[in-house]
Each structure stands twice: as structure tokens, then as C-alpha cells.
Chain A
């Protein structure tokens, strides 16, 4: 069984540009989560989807970040326009039920120059 996959593994963009990160959860997992880790800090929750609905988006830093999960399968996280402080590693996780173990992907390392 394939695990959580994320694309790209690394993205380097300039300040002001747009970047879209993609996450493919484990097949059959209704719950999908986004987290991020900025340099040297802890991993922080961004938001949680149940199928295509946003269950909790309390961690989204500002309106430059837009997450979607059309059809309840893969999810995208768009940053527009990107700022220097958006640099970090963005993790995606999925779980079958809300209180089940969350399985994490390898992360996307975003560098904003």
C-alpha cells in the first residue's frame, strides 16, 4: 500500500511568486492534514480536511494560503504571493478516522528567496 506522497519534494521560488504544493493521501483516508515547520521551530498544524470539507483551518497563517481538496482525494496548498517567512517544510498527513494514527508524507521543502 502506497503511503502519503507529496510533490514537489523541493521548491525554490522568488518572493512574490506563487507555489502550489500537492498531497496524495493514503487511499481511503477521509482525513487529510497539513502541517509546516519553519526553520528551527516546531512543526505546526495548518488545517484539517474531512473528505472535501475544511474541518479546522485555525492554523492557516493568513489569506495568502489557500488549501483545497476537490473530490475528497488529493489536496493542494497554494501560497500566493510567497513571502520569505513562508520558507520551511510542509508536511501532509492522512488518517482513516479522525482519532486514528496520522500517517505523514516526506514533506515539501519550500525556499523563498
Chain B
């Protein structure tokens, strides 16, 4: 069955520190992978996506993610976090060219920033 696991429910980091949010997936075919962010009162915003090619993907707001097929992982990173990065982050898979239209989300990781 297709699934996405985000093992960290809540993470707190200091402003200026580096960040890594973990994501593991289970998917029958080559996955299409996404990271979304939801800030308070806002909708889900796409940070970045991986379809194929270079396994290191650059996104908006200085985020990047690396696809590792051998580990079924797609971890999100940022070298230096800002207070405005406090939000909830969702890893997701699908849709792809041969799969259904629905996106499958992980349960989310809430990020807090320590001043």
C-alpha cells in the first residue's frame, strides 16, 4: 500500500540553525514526491517536487530535498532557518503519469523556531 511516514511530530530549532525534516515513503512505482508547507491561517503551499532526474531538488524559501531510492527517503533540508519558517510541513507522494490523481500525505511535522 502507498504510504508516507514523517517520524517527527514536532521539532524545535534555534533561529539560524540548520534543519532536516525526515520523510519515508512506500510506493509501488517510481514515486512523484512533494513537500508542502502550511503556515497558520494559510493554505498548503508547494515547497518543492521531485519527478525525475537530479536527486537533489531545490525549492522555494531556500529549502532543498534529496531523493534516496535505496532508503525510500525524501528528507527536507534548510541550512539556516528563519523565524518565518515556523509552520507545519507535509511530505507527500503522487500523482504520477500512471497513477491516480490523489496526493498521499504524511501526518506532518510541526516546526517551531527558538529565538
Contact = CB atoms under 8 A, between A and B. Distances in A.
Interface of A: 3-4, 31, 33, 35, 40-45, 48, 55-56, 58-59, 91, 93, 98-99, 101-107
Nearest to A106: B43
Interface stretch (B21-29, B55-63, B101-109): B101-109
Interface string B36-54: 1000011111100100000
A45 B103 CA distance: 7
A45 B104 contact: yes
Contact of A106 (B42, B96, B108): B42
B95 A98 contact: yes
Interface residues of B, number: 22
A98 B95 CA distance: 8
B4 interface: yes
Interface in B57-115: 90, 95-97, 100-108
A41 B105 CA distance: 10
B102 A59 contact: yes
Contacts of B101: 31, 33, 48, 55-56, 98
Residue of B46, B90, B102, B108 with most chain A CB atoms under a 10 A cut-off: B102
A103 B107 CA distance: 19
Contacts of B103: 33, 35, 45, 102
Contact of A99 (B4, B96, B105): B96
B43 A4 contact: yes
A55 B102 CA distance: 11
Contacts of B97: 99
Contacts of B108: 42-43
Given A42-B107, A56-B101, A106 B45 contact: no
A101 B107 contact: no
A106 B104 CA distance: 18
